[in-house]
Amino acid sequence: MKKTITMAALAVAISFGAVSCKKKVSDADLQTQATTVVTSNPNASVEIKDGVAHLSGTFESQEAKDAMIKQLKAINGVKDVHDMATVAPAAMAPVETQSATDPAVQQKVQDALKDFPSVKVQTVNGELTLTGNVSAQQARKIKESVDALKVGKVNYNYTVK
């Protein structure tokens, strides 16, 4: 009986020892693994502290960022991922404009400004230039009208009174 109790106690001690001796992954090892994962995005970086991955940088899309977080969480020993990364804004499509030297464009601008006889439309160095004397309210209406035409660069060289 005494032998059985001793053997049971020994088995319990060994099992506790095995559990408590479980190898903990060091932050340095985790850093190496995490850096390997993050190298697929040159604009991102990761730092491991106390088993937690801190992801930063810029990603092309939310999907790419989410995939990176999932890969970091899959590393054995990473407890959590703190997401400090951003998603780059989508590139704006260029606005198509017409050439300011095109006579049709000049005519459109002149038609838009027909209510403002004191304003003259000219092409100077390939850019439309508006000259004349206008009030502040007229200047605002002129700018809105010309901007709506999307004619490209316009120099507003009129005098506001």
Backbone phi, psi, residue 61, to 5°: -150, 165
Q: Which of 146, 92, 155 is nearest to 124 (CA)?
A: 155
**Sequence-distant (≥ 6) Cβ neighbours of residue 77 within 8 angstroms:** 24, 25, 29, 30, 51
Query: pTM for the full model?
Result: 0.46
**Cα angle, residue 125 at apex, residues 121 and 130 outer, rounded to 5°:** 20
| DSSP per-residue letters across the chain | -HHHHHHHHHHHHHHHHHHHTPPPPPHHHHHHHHHHHHTTSTTEEEEEETTEEEEEEEESSHHHHHHHHHHHHTSTT--EEEE--EEPPPPPPPPP---TT-HHHHHHHHHHTTT-TT-EEEEETTEEEEESEE-HHHHHHHHHHHHHHT-S-EEE-PEE-
Beta bridge partners of 44: 57
pLDDT average per 10 residues of sequence, the chain (161 residues) = 54 52 79 90 91 92 93 94 89 53 78 85 79 86 84 80 78
The pLDDT assigned to 8 comes to 47
